Structure 1
């Protein structure tokens, strides 16, 4: 193909729907769902179910020399018009130091990138958030191939993606339901996709997924229960916070673990508040704190309700509670209960 084409996940989905497949693809990034979903859709677009058995070849680059994959790529398709060759764990596009069984002749890969087999869809899957831009094979692939980085969606993109996934299931999802689903799944795309399929079956074709449906069907993870517990403290809904704590105990969650996650969430609130005061955007905060942008947005909303000194007081209380549990001064359940009781009045 002519010239470098670096595309987003959305652009890649449009490209696949047009069924105008290229010969070279490189997929990498921190959002593994985007990478695996793109790989699946590329394969499904190139090959029918019957053709997959004969014309799909996958090679693990930790175990297999790349020359074997290239040899396969130059093999004419059997009973079909396309062949798909997938390089898994293609670490040689990065600066990673990997102990691998296989040695690779990357000169042959460089040659293939410049002269790919016209009948073959050649896909390199790179297990990394970054490529090594200095390497010749990376430069060549970016020049001749189509490169997609799987990275977390911005909020607007996330909501658009939810609409698309709902449409695939022949349902719609309202805005309140989207927000609740994102909170309960911690914006985990793999989990969201699975939960959407379940809710679509429950709701029925042509209907709308509401917040009530999300609350009824989507299980709360420990982390999301902690978020709701913190939200109860933030909004002074302490009865709600107590109920969540009791529910977690009934689920056999350890009080010390609950305390640890509470401390983590309040630290995030403090960090988000500090970065916000320093002029950081939510996108910059997400990168700095290694959090999903939507999680930063929710944390920013909670943090606005606190003065800095109040958050610091809460963090001190959590540290003191942890110390008293670990030194045997307080029973672990009672210690967390006392911490929650202290939140009835602002501590500043």
Structure 2
């Protein structure tokens, strides 16, 4: 059974194992723990001789086998780190699996996966994960929910000597998205700005990077308030930043779908929680529905259906050859205003 981040973090405080297989959707955590394990394994290796890194796409099995088998240089142990090793390719299973199942006591191996992911139903992958369970740990870093990210940001702010409330942490996630690397960079920036004080909502809105979803949310707000100049200015900025027109339209369509669903739900006397339960896409993102309910208050079901028809037509036009994307998007905004 695969460990989670909490189990690995607790285990690393007291132990160091022979084989780690790190994978999952949270690539930031996969890379962070890979570095943490490598540092712990060769902490006394001042010259860096006992840490060997390989790219699993280009390294052959013989190179990796030799590195694992070799003794450390004037140290208790060595560490071999391999990124995205496909155990099913070539002769890798035949050469490496027996070695990983019977690990040398002087070597720590970290196999970490950023692009490639283990195939649980494949016999060779299963054998690799079983070897990790026997000699160390297979660790799956599942994607964090917005609530988990908010808690991580709050504790991260405390470590940086400043304060971040759960409400403002949630705002940061909404504005920047759920990429942990980006959120960590934004937290570093905001902590420096707060200078030991509190990271406020005003700081977040003014200084934190907005992801596509947040910027298109601003666009939909401008459309609903009939602010033509603001809407076209946001669209122009998005296109200048080379956001994909299909992506812009998709996020804009999602905001109108959210409003339509909440409008119909209100008529049926259903809550945002009930709507979220009916559509898995809202798991951990109920805030979208709460905002949508507010935005839909001044619109009728008929108006929202017309808007969705306009957006569907724009999607067809964008995907048709020879159509100018800017023209389609600008025409769509005009129809929605």
Normalising by structure 1, we get a TM-score of 0.75
1:68/1:181 CA distance change after superposition, 3 Å? same
Matching residue of 1:313: 306
The one of 5, 9, 14 equivalent to 2:5 is 9
Query: CA shift at 1:42, angstroms?
Result: 1.5
Query: Does 1:77 pair with 2:72?
Result: yes
Moved more, 184-193 or 166-175: 166-175
Query: Does 1:245 pair with 2:235?
Result: no
The one of 103, 110, 122 equivalent to 1:116 is 103
Task: Show the 5 A alignment for 1:156-305.
Answer: 156-204=147-195, 206-232=196-222, 236-239=224-227, 242-249=229-236, 253=240, 261-267=248-254, 270=257, 273=261, 285-286=280-281, 293-294=283-284, 296-304=285-293
Please give the alpha-carbon distance, in whole angstroms, between the structure 2 residues aligned to 1:180 and 1:218.
10
Task: Show the 5 A alignment for 1:35-74.
Answer: 35-48=30-43, 50-51=45-46, 53-74=48-69
1:21/1:105 CA distance change after superposition, 3 Å? same
List alignment gaps of at least 5 residues for structure 2. none
Cα offsets for 1:141-181 (capped at 9, x unmatched): 35313111222112332222212322332322122321221
Query: CA shift at 1:192, angstroms?
Result: 0.6
Asked if structure 2 preserves the Cα contact closer than 8 Å seen for 1:132 and 1:138, the reply is no
1:66/1:169 CA distance change after superposition, 3 Å? farther
Local SS of the residue matching 1:92:
coil
Moved more, 192-201 or 318-327: 318-327
Please give the alpha-carbon distance, in whole angstroms, between the structure 2 residues aligned to 1:162 and 1:110.
39
Counting matched residue pairs gives: 316
Local SS of the residue matching 1:63:
coil
Please give the alpha-carbon distance, in whole angstroms, between the structure 2 residues aligned to 1:45 and 1:149.
20
Normalising by structure 2, we get a TM-score of 0.77
Asked if structure 1 preserves the Cα contact closer than 8 Å seen for 2:175 and 2:208, the reply is yes
Asked if structure 2 preserves the Cα contact closer than 8 Å seen for 1:29 and 1:150, the reply is yes
Matching residue of 1:154: 145
List alignment gaps of at least 5 residues for structure 1. 342-348
Matching residue of 2:120: 132
Matching residue of 2:28: 33
Asked if structure 2 preserves the Cα contact closer than 8 Å seen for 1:162 and 1:178, the reply is yes
1:25/1:254 CA distance change after superposition, 3 Å? closer
Please give the alpha-carbon distance, in whole angstroms, between the structure 2 residues aligned to 1:35 and 1:254.
29
